[in-house]
């Protein structure tokens, strides 16, 4: 009994030190709440089901981080609340302004974004591509010439697409949209010829339209390299370390591959060598 009391006291002391050095952990310890920002239309990474439940690959990873935070702070219970954030600017601003503690969706790591926020260990690696209909296919990057392409505004895919058009002197009408659902709507209504986004997200969009999934085609080669990570408050190293510890511990186990299989394997997307390598390289030990 004495040993249990001492162990509990030590745990509380460690939690107190960690939270004192971290405004995010201090607020969580005081309120018993972790506030998570997420993208509501980015399956299979993060999305809202018809029932209202927030689910996805990134959400599962974030829930694992929440469990680690609860243990570190010695909390009996930790409430996890979700805030939908569509545009990249809204997502970054929510972290900067302290409206959410962590953003768990489909955000690409860039140096310019790191001027405003911090990133955890990488959580996924994909590449941008163009989705089109088989009756008007865009099979290769060269095929986008003289086409109408929608893309989510402010994303790295938009930057890549515009550079690609400029470098190759393509004549492309680029239509920025507020989110992925808007891009898919334009494609499905025939108002654009293609929708550009990250391959991981496009896979989810296709299977969200399961009754017509076979009507779509995706460019065979990627337009860019997109490493994902979760956004946290810039300079809050203790909170970021807690999140990184949780992710590293997950990457050391077979559970991460089960999570991948649950969200990507169901869509026929095998675990790629680059994502497998990411798991192994980031399984950092204590």
Q: Let me know whether 117 and 145 are in one domain.
A: no
Average pLDDT over residues 8-35: 74
Q: Which residue shows structure tokens 């980015």?
A: 42
DSSP class of residue 127 equals -
**What pLDDT is stored for residue 4 in this prediction?**
41
Q: Let me know whether 14 and 35 are in one domain.
A: yes
Which residue, 218, 253, 273, sits at the end of a domain?
218
**What pLDDT is stored for residue 120 in this prediction?**
98
Residue by residue, DSSP assigns 160-222 as HHHHHHHHHT---EEEEESSHHHHHHHHHTTSSSEEEEEHHHHHHHHHHTGGGGGGEEE-SS-
Phi-psi region of 78 (alpha: psi -120 to 50; beta: other; left: phi over 0): beta
For the stretch 85-105, pLDDT in tens is 988 999 999 999 999 999 999
Q: Let me know whether 231 and 183 are in one domain.
A: no
Look at 58-62, 132-136, 222-226 and tell me which has the smallest mean pLDDT: 222-226
Residue 11 scores a pLDDT above 60:
no
**What pLDDT is stored for residue 18 in this prediction?**
52
Q: Let me know whether 234 and 271 are in one domain.
A: yes
Find the domain containing 236 and state its range: 2-126+227-281
* Whole-number percent of the chain with pLDDT over 70: 91
For the stretch 55-84, pLDDT in tens is 999 999 999 999 999 999 999 999 999 999
Residue 15 scores a pLDDT above 80:
no
Q: What distance in Å separates the CA atoms of residue 202 and residue 207, rounded to the nearest whole number?
A: 9
Look at 93-102, 115-124, 199-208 and tell me which has the smallest mean pLDDT: 199-208
**What pLDDT is stored for residue 277 in this prediction?**
96
Residue by residue, DSSP assigns 28-42 as HHHH-EEEEEE-TEE
Average pLDDT over residues 134-160: 92
Q: Which pTM value belongs to this model?
A: 0.85
Q: Let me know whether 234 and 214 are in one domain.
A: no
Comparing C-alpha atoms, which of 15, 224, 196, 234 is closest to residue 103? Answer: 234
**What pLDDT is stored for residue 224 in this prediction?**
84
If pLDDT is split at 50, 70 and 90, which confidence band does 52 have?
A: very high
Residue 5 scores a pLDDT above 60:
no
Q: What distance in Å separates the CA atoms of residue 238 and residue 153, rounded to the nearest whole number?
A: 32
Based on the structure, what is the number of domains in the chain? 2
**What pLDDT is stored for residue 230 in this prediction?**
98
Cβ atoms of 121 and 229 closer than 8 Å: yes
């Amino acid at each position: 009994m004495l040993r249990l009391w001492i162990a509990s006291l030590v745990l509380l002391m460690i939690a107190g030190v960690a939270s004192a050095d971290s405004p995010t952990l201090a607020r969580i310890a005081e309120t018993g709440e972790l506030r998570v920002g997420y993208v509501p239309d980015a399956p299979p990474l993060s999305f809202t089901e018809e029932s209202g439940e927030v689910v996805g690959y990134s959400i599962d990873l974030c829930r694992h981080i929440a469990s680690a935070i609860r243990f570190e702070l010695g909390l009996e219970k930790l409430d996890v609340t979700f805030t939908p954030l569509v545009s990249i600017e809204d997502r970054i601003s929510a972290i900067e302004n302290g409206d959410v503690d962590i953003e768990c969706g489909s955000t690409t790591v860039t140096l310019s974004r790191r001027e405003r926020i911090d990133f955890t260990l990488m959580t996924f690696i994909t590449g941008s591509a163009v989705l089109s209909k088989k009756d008007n296919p865009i099979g290769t990057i060269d095929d986008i010439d003289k086409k109408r392409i929608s893309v989510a505004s402010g994303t790295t895919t938009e930057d890549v697409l515009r550079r690609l058009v400029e470098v190759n002197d393509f004549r492309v009408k680029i239509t920025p949209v507020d989110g992925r659902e808007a891009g898919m709507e334009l494609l499905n209504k025939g108002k654009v010829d293609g929708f550009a986004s990250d391959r991981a997200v496009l896979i989810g969009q296709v299977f969200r339209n399961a009754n017509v999934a076979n009507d779509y085609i995706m460019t065979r080669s990627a337009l860019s390299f997109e490493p994902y990570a979760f956004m946290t408050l810039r300079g809050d190293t203790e909170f970021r370390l807690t999140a990184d510890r949780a992710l590293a511990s997950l990457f050391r186990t077979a559970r991460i591959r089960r999570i991948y299989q649950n969200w990507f394997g169901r869509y026929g997307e095998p675990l790629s060598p680059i994502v497998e390598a990411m798991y192994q390289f980031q399984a950092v030990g204590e």
